[in-house]
Amino acid sequence: GESYLICHYGTIRSGTAESQPVKACVFAYKSKDDADGMATILHKKCSRFDHPCVMKSLGYCKGSHPHSEYSFVAFPLFELCFSDLIANGSIAIEMGRFSEVFIEAVSQIVKGLQALHEHGFCCPRLEGGDIAIKMENSSVTAKIWNFSVGNSDREKNLGWKRIGELLLIAARGNFAYSDDSLEIHYLCDKIKEGQLSGLHILQQSAFLTVREKFERVLSLWKFVSVNCKPELIHQLDKSKDTYTLTEFLDVSSSRSIRPLWIDRGRRTPALKTLRELLNEFRDIIEHEIEYISPEVITELTFKEIELGKKKSDLEHYIRKSWPVEFLMIQLWASNQTAELKVKELVGLKEKLKRKP
């Protein structure tokens, strides 16, 4: 029969009337047929599964007159759902990248979904409303509350693809649809294609902090310096679909000038290869104050803040200037033996540039 869910905020007591009341979010199921069955199933699932990223039931009861057509399940209090975090104008995106609060929320969701899969549950139709969010000061907690029994690879894969679709909604609704957000769209494409799932999602550069990305750059620079002897600069072999790090390091680039935000007084020649660019990144990161753009240092006016403008930082300037190369460096830093589809990355960048 027709059924629907109502959410109430309040307090609950367990046991005697003298017990301490607990703030709770109470789900009230109303159905012509089996509201009690639906509420009982939800309570049992969320009672026997114990994981910090999956919601724990506080209790269940069947309503009495005049609420006899309802059955209730209580959960720890939460004010938001993940759909609020991915909505237009949310805190999901800052400077074309995922915000640190959003990264933490998604990290918990991924860990929760992974744990559910390991215990015979799945979320093939995962929605933002199925994930409870609690914000407290600058910290965030995310817990999945709506899941079903299922252990097939197909059901698990659908759950991961839903994660990718929700991330794409966050990007599109928060102005992260240009080439400086290449890392986000690369991530979403790989999840959609079934090439990324589980905790591997969290190892992608889109889920790293600025400092972690810079540490990857320095790590790859050190690896290249020690293990990759310079070769003669050569042209890109357009017949190849994939390149290894060593094959691409000394390929000639079409870029001939530096972006305007880098000090014009630098005496070194224009950058021609990924190896030279990696050296440049290392220099900029290790001497950040010397090469940082004046625009980065300049404070925003109150009017600009009121209009929603955010101050760019050094990582944003680098990512805007070299979206493909910066992503390639991040990918090779995480796996030096990886074979990257360079044309695929360039094609995705051009696609984003054409978007209105």
- Type of residue at 217: V
CA 161 vs. chain centroid, Å, equals 13
- Type of residue at 332: W
CATH of the domain spanning 3-76: 3.30.200.20
Is there a contact between 250 and 232 (Cβ–Cβ < 8 Å)? yes
pLDDT, average across residues 32-51:
81
Share of the chain above pLDDT 70, in %: 84
pLDDT, tens digit, 9 for 90 and up, residues 213-264: 999 999 999 999 999 999 998 888 888 889 999 999 999 875 656 676 665 5
Q: Which residues contact 229 (CB under 8 A, 6 or more apart)?
A: none
Q: Which of 227, 271, 273, 270 is nearest to 250 (CA)?
A: 273
Neighbouring CB atoms inside 10 A of 75's CB total: 22
pLDDT, average across residues 97-102:
96
Q: Which of 8-12, 125-129, 190-194, 275-279 has the lowest mean pLDDT?
A: 8-12
pLDDT, average across residues 11-15:
77
Model pLDDT, residue 121: 96
Q: Which of 105-114, 140-149, 293-302 has the lowest mean pLDDT?
A: 293-302
Q: Which residues contact 356 (CB under 8 A, 6 or more apart)?
A: none
Neighbouring CB atoms inside 10 A of 33's CB total: 10
Neighbouring CB atoms inside 10 A of 34's CB total: 14
pLDDT, average across residues 207-215:
96
- How many Cα atoms occupy the beta-carbon half-sphere of 114 within 13 Å? 14
pLDDT, tens digit, 9 for 90 and up, residues 123-146: 999 999 999 999 998 899 999 999
Is there a contact between 3 and 38 (Cβ–Cβ < 8 Å)? yes
C-alpha dihedral, 38 to 40 to 42 to 46, nearest 10°: 180
Burial class of residue 196, CB neighbours in 10 A (0-12, 13-18, 19+): buried
Same topology, domains 3-76 and 80-207? Answer is no
* 116 vs 143: CA distance, rounded Å: 11
Model pLDDT, residue 1: 41
Model pLDDT, residue 312: 76
pLDDT, tens digit, 9 for 90 and up, residues 56-96: 999 988 888 787 788 899 999 998 999 999 999 899 999 99
C-alpha dihedral, 96 to 205 to 213 to 219, nearest 10°: -150
* 350 vs 179: CA distance, rounded Å: 7
| Domain residue limits, the chain | 3-76, 80-207, 210-354
Is there a contact between 46 and 107 (Cβ–Cβ < 8 Å)? no
The CATH class given to the 80-207 domain equals mainly alpha
Average pLDDT, the chain: 87
- Sheet strands (E) in the chain: 3-12, 22-31, 59-62, 70-76, 80-81, 93-94, 97-98, 121-122, 131-136, 139-144, 148-149
Neighbouring CB atoms inside 10 A of 86's CB total: 23
Model pLDDT, residue 74: 93
CA 2 vs. chain centroid, Å, equals 36
